[in-house]
C-alpha cells in the first residue's frame, strides 16, 4: 500500500516540532489513539426479547468455518504471526475438524489468545496532502492475526443472526 502511494522512500518529516523517532511516535500515538473516557453503561433491560436463544450456544460447526473462510479477502497483509488466509484454507481442507474444535473451545471458555489480539500498525501517508508535518496527514493500517479475524467473522455472523431473531435489527438492515 505504501508503494502504491510512492511515498515509501520518503521519511516522515518533523511532526509538530518533533524530529526524533520517540517524539514523532508520541505525537502520532496521541493523535491516532486519544485517551477516551469510559463508555456509559447500557440501561438495564435495553432489549427485552422473549425469544429462546439457548440453541445459539451451539458448537462452531465445519459449515460455520467453511462459510467464514469462503468470505475472506485473500491477498491482504498478514499480522505478526505471518499466517495467511490461504494457509488457513489449506489447513482447514487438510483437517476440517480442528478449526471448529479450536473456535468452539475459545467461545466455550471465553478465551481469545493474546497472539490473536496482537497487531502490527503501519503508518501510511494520506495521498495528495500539501504537507506531511501534521498528524492528520497519516492514517494507520492494522495488520492483525488471520486466526483472530476468522473467529471474529464467525462471531459476527452469529451476532447478526441472533440480532435478527431478537428483533434488535430490521430484516432489511444491510452492512455493519
pLDDT means per 10 residues, the chain with 176 residues, are 52 81 84 73 67 71 93 81 89 94 90 87 86 85 89 88 77 67
pLDDT at 68: 92
Q: Which three cell numbers stand for residue 93?
A: 481442507
User: How many other CB atoms sit within 10 Å of the CB of residue 93?
Assistant: 10
Residue 86 placed within a domain? yes
DSSP 8-class letter at 79: -
Asked if residue 172 is part of any domain, the answer here is no
Flag whether 39 is in a domain: no
The pLDDT, as a whole number, for residue 33 is: 77
Structural domain span for residue 106: 21-32+57-162
In Å, how far are 53, 57, 98 from 48, measured between CA atoms?
Answer: 12, 19, 37
Model pTM above 0.85:
no
pLDDT at residue 104, rounded to an integer: 92
- pLDDT for 2: 45
Intra-chain end-to-end CA distance of the chain, in Å: 25
State residue 1's pLDDT score.
45
- Is 117 inside any structural domain? yes
Is 155 inside any structural domain? yes
Does any domain span residue 126? yes
12 within a domain of the structure (yes/no) = no
Please give the helix or strand (H or E) that residue 87 lies within, else none. helix 85-94
Predicted pLDDT of residue 19:
84
Q: Using CA atoms, how far apart are residues 169 and 160, in angstroms rounded to an integer?
A: 8
Report yes or no on 176 lying in a domain: no
- Name the domain count of the chain: 1
SS3 content of the chain, % helix, strand, coil (to 5): 40, 10, 50
CA distance 119 to 157: 23
21 backbone φψ class: left, alpha, beta (φ>0; ψ -120 to 50): alpha
Amino acid at each position: 500500500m505504501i508503494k502504491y502511494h510512492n511515498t515509501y522512500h520518503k521519511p516522515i518529516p518533523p511532526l509538530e516540532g518533533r524530529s526524533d523517532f520517540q517524539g514523532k511516535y508520541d505525537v502520532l500515538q496521541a493523535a491516532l489513539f486519544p485517551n477516551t473516557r469510559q463508555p456509559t453503561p447500557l440501561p438495564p433491560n435495553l432489549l427485552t426479547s422473549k425469544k429462546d436463544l439457548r440453541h445459539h450456544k451451539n458448537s462452531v460447526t465445519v459449515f460455520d468455518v467453511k462459510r467464514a473462510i469462503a468470505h475472506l479477502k485473500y491477498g491482504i497483509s498478514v499480522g505478526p504471526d505471518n499466517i495467511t488466509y490461504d494457509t488457513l484454507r489449506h489447513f482447514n481442507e487438510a483437517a476440517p475438524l480442528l478449526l471448529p474444535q479450536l473456535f468452539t473451545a475459545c467461545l466455550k471458555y471465553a478465551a481469545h489468545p493474546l497472539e490473536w489480539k496482537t497487531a502490527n500498525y503501519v503508518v501510511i501517508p494520506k495521498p495528495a496532502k500539501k504537507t506531511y508535518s501534521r498528524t492528520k496527514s497519516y492514517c494507520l493500517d492494522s495488520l492483525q492475526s488471520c486466526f483472530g479475524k476468522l473467529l471474529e467473522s464467525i462471531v459476527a455472523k452469529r451476532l447478526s443472526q441472533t440480532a435478527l431473531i431478537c428483533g434488535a435489527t430490521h430484516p432489511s438492515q444491510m452492512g455493519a
